[in-house]
A and B are shown apart, each in its own frame.
Chain A
Amino acid sequence: AQRVTQPEKLLSVFKGAPVELKCNYSYSGSPELFWYVQYSRQRLQLLLRHISRESIKGFTADLNKGETSFHLKKPFAQEEDSAMYYCALSGGAQKLVFGQGTRLTINP
Protein backbone atom coordinates (compact mmCIF):
# COMPACT_ATOMS: atom_id res chain seq x y z
CA ALA A 1 0.00 0.00 0.00
CA GLN A 2 1.08 3.54 -0.67
CA ARG A 3 0.83 6.05 2.13
CA VAL A 4 2.10 9.58 2.71
CA THR A 5 2.29 11.14 6.17
CA GLN A 6 2.77 14.81 6.90
CA PRO A 7 3.00 14.94 10.67
CA GLU A 8 2.44 18.69 11.02
CA LYS A 9 -0.95 20.15 10.10
CA LEU A 10 0.25 23.64 10.97
CA LEU A 11 3.70 25.18 10.90
CA SER A 12 4.50 28.75 11.76
CA VAL A 13 7.92 30.39 11.41
CA PHE A 14 9.28 33.92 11.27
CA LYS A 15 10.43 35.58 8.08
CA GLY A 16 14.09 34.83 7.45
CA ALA A 17 14.08 31.66 9.56
CA PRO A 18 14.71 28.21 8.06
CA VAL A 19 11.73 26.10 7.11
CA GLU A 20 11.37 22.33 7.04
CA LEU A 21 8.13 20.60 6.14
CA LYS A 22 8.23 16.92 6.94
CA CYS A 23 7.01 14.12 4.69
CA ASN A 24 7.30 10.40 5.28
CA TYR A 25 6.10 7.74 2.92
CA SER A 26 5.35 4.05 2.84
CA TYR A 27 5.93 2.16 -0.39
CA SER A 28 7.71 -1.10 -1.06
CA GLY A 29 8.93 -0.20 -4.53
CA SER A 30 10.84 2.72 -6.00
CA PRO A 31 8.67 5.82 -5.56
CA GLU A 32 8.46 9.13 -7.27
CA LEU A 33 7.90 11.97 -4.79
CA PHE A 34 6.43 15.39 -5.35
CA TRP A 35 5.61 18.54 -3.43
CA TYR A 36 2.49 20.43 -4.48
CA VAL A 37 1.56 23.88 -3.15
CA GLN A 38 -1.67 25.84 -2.94
CA TYR A 39 -1.39 29.58 -2.34
CA SER A 40 -4.39 31.49 -1.05
CA ARG A 41 -7.16 31.64 -3.67
CA GLN A 42 -5.02 29.82 -6.23
CA ARG A 43 -5.02 26.34 -7.69
CA LEU A 44 -3.02 23.41 -6.48
CA GLN A 45 0.24 23.37 -8.44
CA LEU A 46 3.44 21.40 -8.63
CA LEU A 47 6.33 22.89 -6.66
CA LEU A 48 9.02 20.30 -7.27
CA ARG A 49 9.68 16.62 -7.91
CA HIS A 50 12.54 14.54 -6.59
CA ILE A 51 13.72 13.27 -9.97
CA SER A 52 14.43 16.82 -11.12
CA ARG A 53 16.73 17.54 -8.18
CA GLU A 54 16.10 21.24 -8.69
CA SER A 55 15.48 24.19 -6.43
CA ILE A 56 12.22 26.05 -6.95
CA LYS A 57 11.58 29.37 -5.19
CA GLY A 58 14.48 28.51 -2.91
CA PHE A 59 12.94 25.20 -1.83
CA THR A 60 14.74 21.87 -2.07
CA ALA A 61 13.76 18.34 -1.14
CA ASP A 62 15.94 15.27 -0.91
CA LEU A 63 14.62 11.75 -1.13
CA ASN A 64 15.99 9.65 1.74
CA LYS A 65 15.11 6.04 0.98
CA GLY A 66 16.64 4.79 4.21
CA GLU A 67 14.36 6.98 6.31
CA THR A 68 11.55 6.94 3.70
CA SER A 69 11.36 10.70 3.87
CA PHE A 70 11.11 13.59 1.44
CA HIS A 71 11.29 16.71 3.59
CA LEU A 72 10.92 20.15 2.00
CA LYS A 73 13.43 22.76 3.09
CA LYS A 74 14.17 26.43 2.59
CA PRO A 75 17.00 28.23 4.38
CA PHE A 76 15.30 31.64 4.65
CA ALA A 77 11.51 31.85 4.70
CA GLN A 78 9.68 34.66 2.93
CA GLU A 79 6.16 35.91 3.59
CA GLU A 80 5.05 34.80 0.14
CA ASP A 81 5.84 31.21 1.12
CA SER A 82 2.70 31.11 3.26
CA ALA A 83 0.54 28.41 1.69
CA MET A 84 -0.76 24.87 1.98
CA TYR A 85 1.86 22.26 1.07
CA TYR A 86 1.11 18.68 0.06
CA CYS A 87 3.57 15.86 -0.31
CA ALA A 88 2.58 13.23 -2.89
CA LEU A 89 3.83 9.83 -3.97
CA SER A 90 3.53 7.97 -7.23
CA GLY A 91 4.18 4.26 -7.14
CA GLY A 92 3.71 1.54 -9.67
CA ALA A 93 0.04 2.35 -10.11
CA GLN A 94 0.97 5.65 -11.72
CA LYS A 95 -1.47 7.55 -9.55
CA LEU A 96 -0.72 10.21 -6.98
CA VAL A 97 -1.32 9.60 -3.29
CA PHE A 98 -1.35 12.83 -1.28
CA GLY A 99 -0.57 13.52 2.34
CA GLN A 100 -3.01 15.51 4.44
CA GLY A 101 -1.07 18.72 3.95
CA THR A 102 0.77 21.26 6.10
CA ARG A 103 -0.37 24.85 6.36
CA LEU A 104 2.75 27.03 6.50
CA THR A 105 2.47 30.53 7.91
CA ILE A 106 5.36 32.94 7.69
CA ASN A 107 5.16 35.66 10.31
CA PRO A 108 6.65 39.08 9.55
Chain B
Amino acid sequence: EAGVAQSPRYKIIEKRQSVAFWCNPISGHATLYWYQQILGQGPKLLIQFQNNGVVDDSQLPKDRFSAERLKGVDSTLKIQPAKLEDSAVYLCASSRDFTPNEQFFGPGTRLTVL
Protein backbone atom coordinates (compact mmCIF):
# COMPACT_ATOMS: atom_id res chain seq x y z
CA GLU B 1 0.00 0.00 0.00
CA ALA B 2 1.11 3.55 -0.65
CA GLY B 3 2.45 5.36 2.37
CA VAL B 4 1.49 8.66 3.95
CA ALA B 5 2.35 11.52 1.63
CA GLN B 6 3.36 14.99 2.74
CA SER B 7 4.30 18.18 0.93
CA PRO B 8 6.34 20.23 0.77
CA ARG B 9 9.36 18.40 2.14
CA TYR B 10 11.18 21.61 3.05
CA LYS B 11 10.04 25.17 3.63
CA ILE B 12 11.92 28.30 4.63
CA ILE B 13 9.96 31.40 5.60
CA GLU B 14 10.49 34.58 7.56
CA LYS B 15 8.80 35.18 10.86
CA ARG B 16 5.28 36.58 10.67
CA GLN B 17 4.73 34.88 7.30
CA SER B 18 2.16 32.15 6.75
CA VAL B 19 2.77 28.55 5.73
CA ALA B 20 0.64 25.51 4.98
CA PHE B 21 1.45 21.82 4.97
CA TRP B 22 -0.48 19.08 3.23
CA CYS B 23 -0.95 15.43 4.15
CA ASN B 24 -2.55 12.52 2.33
CA PRO B 25 -3.00 9.51 4.64
CA ILE B 26 -3.04 5.86 3.72
CA SER B 27 -6.27 4.98 1.95
CA GLY B 28 -8.93 3.79 4.36
CA HIS B 29 -7.23 5.08 7.49
CA ALA B 30 -9.80 6.79 9.66
CA THR B 31 -7.44 8.56 12.03
CA LEU B 32 -4.96 11.27 11.09
CA TYR B 33 -2.39 12.91 13.33
CA TRP B 34 -0.18 15.99 13.06
CA TYR B 35 2.97 16.07 15.16
CA GLN B 36 5.59 18.75 15.75
CA GLN B 37 9.13 17.52 16.27
CA ILE B 38 11.60 20.10 17.46
CA LEU B 39 15.28 19.26 17.04
CA GLY B 40 16.46 16.94 19.80
CA GLN B 41 12.97 16.09 20.99
CA GLY B 42 10.40 13.41 20.32
CA PRO B 43 7.29 14.07 18.26
CA LYS B 44 4.57 16.04 20.06
CA LEU B 45 0.95 15.60 19.03
CA LEU B 46 -0.66 18.78 17.78
CA ILE B 47 -4.02 17.51 16.59
CA GLN B 48 -5.81 14.20 15.98
CA PHE B 49 -8.69 13.73 13.56
CA GLN B 50 -11.18 10.88 13.51
CA ASN B 51 -12.54 10.95 9.95
CA ASN B 52 -13.16 14.70 9.60
CA GLY B 53 -13.82 15.42 13.28
CA VAL B 54 -11.26 16.66 15.81
CA VAL B 55 -10.58 14.20 18.64
CA ASP B 56 -7.74 16.02 20.40
CA ASP B 57 -6.26 19.46 19.78
CA SER B 58 -5.24 20.23 23.34
CA GLN B 59 -1.63 21.00 22.37
CA LEU B 60 -2.38 22.99 19.24
CA PRO B 61 -1.50 26.70 19.65
CA LYS B 62 -4.84 27.84 18.35
CA ASP B 63 -3.91 31.51 18.16
CA ARG B 64 -1.62 30.75 15.21
CA PHE B 65 -2.13 27.12 14.17
CA SER B 66 -5.15 25.69 12.40
CA ALA B 67 -5.88 22.37 10.75
CA GLU B 68 -8.66 20.81 8.79
CA ARG B 69 -9.44 17.47 7.25
CA LEU B 70 -11.94 17.89 4.50
CA LYS B 71 -14.08 14.89 3.58
CA GLY B 72 -12.17 12.78 6.06
CA VAL B 73 -9.20 12.23 3.75
CA ASP B 74 -6.50 14.87 3.09
CA SER B 75 -5.50 17.33 5.75
CA THR B 76 -3.89 20.75 5.85
CA LEU B 77 -2.01 22.31 8.75
CA LYS B 78 -1.50 26.07 8.67
CA ILE B 79 0.62 28.45 10.71
CA GLN B 80 -0.25 32.12 10.61
CA PRO B 81 1.83 34.06 11.58
CA ALA B 82 4.94 31.95 12.08
CA LYS B 83 7.37 32.49 14.93
CA LEU B 84 11.02 31.50 15.22
CA GLU B 85 10.11 28.75 17.70
CA ASP B 86 7.91 27.07 15.08
CA SER B 87 11.03 25.80 13.33
CA ALA B 88 10.61 22.05 13.44
CA VAL B 89 9.73 18.97 11.44
CA TYR B 90 5.98 18.54 11.03
CA LEU B 91 4.98 14.91 10.80
CA CYS B 92 1.70 13.53 9.59
CA ALA B 93 0.64 10.03 10.55
CA SER B 94 -2.41 7.86 10.05
CA SER B 95 -3.84 4.74 11.62
CA ARG B 96 -6.54 2.33 10.55
CA ASP B 97 -8.77 2.62 13.57
CA PHE B 98 -9.52 4.69 16.61
CA THR B 99 -6.58 3.45 18.69
CA PRO B 100 -2.96 4.41 18.07
CA ASN B 101 -1.77 0.83 17.97
CA GLU B 102 0.26 1.38 14.85
CA GLN B 103 0.67 4.76 13.31
CA PHE B 104 2.17 5.10 9.84
CA PHE B 105 4.25 8.22 9.44
CA GLY B 106 4.92 10.43 6.46
CA PRO B 107 8.39 11.76 5.58
CA GLY B 108 7.73 15.06 7.33
CA THR B 109 8.06 18.71 6.35
CA ARG B 110 11.10 20.54 7.69
CA LEU B 111 10.14 24.15 8.45
CA THR B 112 12.76 26.81 9.06
CA VAL B 113 11.56 30.20 10.28
CA LEU B 114 14.13 32.99 9.91
Binding site for B on A (CB under 8 A): 4, 9, 32, 43-46, 49, 86, 88, 90, 93-101
Contacts and interface: CB of A to CB of B under 8 A. Distances in A.
Interface of B: 3-4, 33, 40-45, 48, 55-56, 91, 93, 98-108
Q: Pick the 3 closest A-B CB pairs, nearest first.
A: A98-B42, A44-B105, A43-B105
B70 to A, nearest CB: 22
Given A43-B107, A44-B91, A93-B56, A49 B43 contact: no
14 contacts: A43-B3, A46-B103, A49-B102, A86-B43, A90-B99, A90-B101, A94-B55, A94-B98, A95-B56, A96-B33, A96-B43, A96-B103, A98-B43, A100-B40
Contacts of B102: 46, 49
Contacts of B100: 90, 94-96
Nearest to A6: B42
